[in-house]
Structure 1
Amino acid sequence: MSKSYDFPHAPGHLIRRAHQVSVAAFMEETAGYDVTPVQFALLNALMDTPGADQVTLAARVAFDPATSGSVIGRLEAKGWVRREADQNDRRRKLLWITPEGEATVQQMKRAVARVQTRILGPLNATEREQMMRLLTKLVAGHDKQG
């Protein structure tokens, strides 16, 4: 009997490794854009919800609102996001994607599609469908608990 924990068969370890594979593939395929997966998600969410506040935007992409402020700041510094104070509550900042930010997202779509293909590459078509169904169920189940 081994004294160490059986990491190779632990869901948490395998999910962490899958995340590493995912981020590495994203960074390789999108290297020319200098964008992280979270930045890409936030930009996409802003395309769908222009004028959203930081907390709402962070919730849409399941990201920590406190940390999202620095990410949004970097996007703003690149000229891809515009931030304005809410007229009704000056403490609340509303966000819009700029034309430059939207153009970058549109240019990245093919690269991001390649990332998704690479992530699921080792699986056959049936396994890819099953993996997506199970990941969706896993995340949704934990979202309900939260």
Structure 2
Amino acid sequence: MTSEPAEAEPANQPADLFDLSHNVNFLLRLAHARGDLLFNEAMGDLDLTPRQAALLHAVDRCEGGNISVLTVVTGMDRGTLSEMTPRLVKRGLLDRRPAPGDGRAKSLYLTPAGDALLQLARQRTASLRERVLASMPEEYHDLFVKMLAQLVGLETETRIVHDLPTVTRRRT
């Protein structure tokens, strides 16, 4: 009597996908937590969060941009940016002025203190990137970053900024 070999289970069955080592949502959450930890280690003395740093960078790239423009550049939602902006204005890092041609809209600009803080953050960014990506082979670093940008729907910043006709582009 011969026995039939057991059929191999197809990959990516629901049980396999829930395995934490293959669960995309779980892995993304762990990666996010690790990224925040490393950011805080690198930038903690600057009293700056990753989202605040992104907003300062976007304001620098799109000087005079309003919240609507900055949502496109940062990929953050309007509510988040609208909540962060007054705090950064109060800290003296951003200046908010009436937008030319639209008295209701507000244009955002870096203050000298905001620019100085952003420059410090930028100086630390290369070593932070190295630490975040250190567990991967170097040849995958750029591909991984590109895939993350695709995953979150954030096109390359350079293309976005150049397609925005209403703001002044800075520091390319």
Give the TM interval when normalised to the shorter protein: 0.7 to 0.9
Q: Does residue 54 in structure 1 map to residue 55 in structure 2?
A: no
Alignment match, 1:81: 94
1:126: how far off?
Answer: 1.9
- CA distance in 2 between partners of 1:66 and 1:35 (Å): 19
Alignment match, 2:26: 13
Alignment match, 1:92: 105
Contact 1:59–1:65 (Cα < 8 Å) also in 2? no
Q: Does residue 24 in structure 1 map to residue 37 in structure 2?
A: yes
Distance 1:94 1:137, change over 3 A: closer
CA deviation map 1:73-129 (0-9, x unaligned): 111111010001224322211110111101111112232222211110111212324
The size of the alignment, in residue pairs, is 141
Instruction: Name which of structure 1's ranges 129-138 and 49-58 shifts more when overlaid on structure 2.
Output: 129-138
CA deviation map 1:17-57 (0-9, x unaligned): 11111111101110111011111111111111110001211
Greater RCO, CA 8 A, separation 6+:
2
Q: Does residue 114 in structure 1 map to residue 123 in structure 2?
A: no
SS in 2 for 1:9: coil
- CA distance in 1 between partners of 2:95 and 2:76 (Å): 19
What amino acid maps onto 1:8 in structure 2? S
TM-score, normalised to structure 1, is 0.85
| Unmatched tracts of structure 2, length 5 or more | 1-14, 156-172
Q: Does residue 35 in structure 1 map to residue 48 in structure 2?
A: yes
Contact 1:86–1:93 (Cα < 8 Å) also in 2? yes
TM-score, normalised to structure 2, is 0.73
Q: Pick the structure with more helix per residue.
A: 1
1:132: how far off?
Answer: 2.8
| Unmatched tracts of structure 1, length 5 or more | none
Percent identity over paired residues: 28
The structure number with the bigger radius of gyration is 2
1:139: how far off?
Answer: 3.7
CA RMSD of aligned residues (A): 2.2
